[in-house]
Amino acid sequence: MSVTIYHNPDCSKSRQTLELLREHGITPTIIEYLKSPPTAGQLREILGQLGIAPRDLMRKKESIYAECKLNNSSLSDDDQIDFMIKYPILIERPIVLANGKAALGRPPAQVLEILD
C-alpha cells in the first residue's frame, strides 16, 4: 500500500501523525509541502478525496489569511486554490493519502480510517 503524508515537521500534529503511521508499520512518502507545494491539480484531487471545499482546507488563523482577505465569500474555488499554492502555509496539515482516499490528521488517529 502506498501512503503519502503532506507534512510540516514544525507542526506537532503532523509529527504525531507521522509517528502513528510508523507505529503501524507504514513508511510513507513524505512531502514537506512548504518546500514542495502541491500543484493546483493535486490540490483539487486532495479536496475531492477529502470531500471538502478549498476554504475548509485553509488555516484561517494564519496571518496571511487575514492579510489577503481570504474570508471574502466572493473568492472562487480556483482563487482559493491559487492562494494555497502561492502561500502553502495556508494548507491545513497533515494530509495523508492512501487507497485513493485522503484524511486530515486532526486528530492524528483519523488517518487510520483510510488505511484499511
Q: In the 3-class helix/strand/coil scheme, how is 22-83 assigned residue by residue?
A: HHCCCCCEEEECCCCCCCHHHHHHHHHHHCCCHHHHECCCCHHHHHCCCCCCCCCHHHHHHH
Catalytic residue among 1, 7, 11, 41: 11
Helix (H/G/I), strand (E/B), else coil: 21 = helix
- pLDDT single digits (tens) 100-109: 999 999 999 9
Cα–Cα dist 116/84, whole Å: 30
Phi, psi of 100 (to 5 degrees): 70, 15
pLDDT given for residue 116 in this prediction: 77
pLDDT digits (tens, 9 = 90+) for 49-79: 999 999 999 999 999 999 999 999 999 999 9
| 68 is annotated as an active-site residue | no
Cell of 55: 476554504
**Domain boundary assignment for the chain:** 3-114
Q: 3-114 has which CATH code?
A: 3.40.30.10
* Tens of pLDDT, residues 78-93: 999 999 999 999 999 9
